[in-house]
């Protein structure tokens, strides 16, 4: 059975890629043939890897199967700005069928696929479509990454409600401590546990060095 998940966040820069990396490695350890997929990216951040987007580089390294740069990230923009705006300015349309074609290629090679979105749940692909409409079309199970910070409670509740309102399965949420823990962190998570009905998959501790992550020491469950 092929498992397909979509990673979204309560905002941009909440740790979607770090969470994706950990989940991919845990799924690999569980015996799956894993693949990360970043269908749309903006911002080339690493010249060492042929100017490949940094998120795509991490997904590529974290996957158990070998994928080309194009397979990992078929639609990429050089500048760091919302994809739908760059799409308009560069006259390069983001077509949902192209995203789906890329997903089909990866499905043919793996049985545990993690698709990483851009920004939050309603990030636009164009002036008519958001990522959410494509996720619904592909029937992907969604995982929410919640950055533990001021404002995260409202954002997390709204994100889950939006996903459920579109009759899309929410497979769970992950708390990511993007700042060193303070006395309020535990209360943020306790509050979210009361309001978020989807399964709590675990918590990512604050990471001083994101390049040295021991995924075995991070207590996160694989979504079902």
214 vs 195, residue with greater confidence: 195
Catalytic residue IDs: 38
- Residues 156, 161: Cα–Cα separation, whole Å: 9
Confirm or deny that 176 is annotated as ligand binding.
yes
Confirm or deny that 206 is annotated as ligand binding.
yes
CATH fold label, 3-217 = Rossmann fold (3.40.50)
Q: What is the pLDDT of residue 183?
A: 86
Flag whether pLDDT at 33 surpasses 60.
yes
Q: 154, 143, 148, 146: which is closest to 195 by C-alpha?
A: 154
Confirm or deny that 47 is annotated as ligand binding.
no
Confirm or deny that 55 is annotated as ligand binding.
yes
Q: What is the pLDDT of residue 42?
A: 86
> Which secondary structure element, helix H or strand E, spans residue 189, and what is its range?
helix 185-195
Q: What is the pLDDT of residue 51?
A: 57
């Amino acid at each position: 059975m092929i498992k397909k998940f979509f990673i979204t966040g309560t905002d941009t820069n909440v740790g979607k890629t770090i969470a994706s990396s950990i989940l991919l490695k845990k799924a690999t350890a569980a015996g799956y043939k894993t693949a990360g997929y970043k269908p749309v990216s903006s911002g080339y951040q690493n010249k060492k890897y042929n100017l490949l987007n940094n998120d795509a580089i991490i997904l590529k390294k974290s996957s158990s199967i070998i994928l080309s740069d194009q397979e990992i990230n078929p639609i990429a923009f050089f500048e760091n700005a919302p994809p739908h705006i760059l799409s308009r300015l560069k006259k390069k349309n983001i077509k949902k069928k192209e995203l789906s074609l890329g997903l089909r290629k990866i499905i043919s090679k793996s049985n545990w696929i993690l698709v990483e979105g851009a920004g939050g749940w309603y990030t636009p692909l164009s002036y008519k479509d958001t990522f959410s409409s494509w996720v619904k079309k592909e029937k992907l199970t969604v995982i929410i990454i919640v950055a533990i910070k001021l404002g995260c409670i409202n954002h997390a509740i709204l994100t889950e409600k939006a996903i459920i309102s579109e009759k899309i399965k929410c497979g769970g949420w992950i708390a990511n401590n993007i700042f060193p823990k303070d006395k309020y962190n535990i209360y943020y998570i306790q509050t979210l546990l009361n309001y978020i009905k989807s399964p709590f998959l675990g918590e990512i501790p604050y990471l001083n060095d994101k390049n040295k992550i021991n995924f075995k020491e991070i207590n996160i469950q694989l979504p079902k």
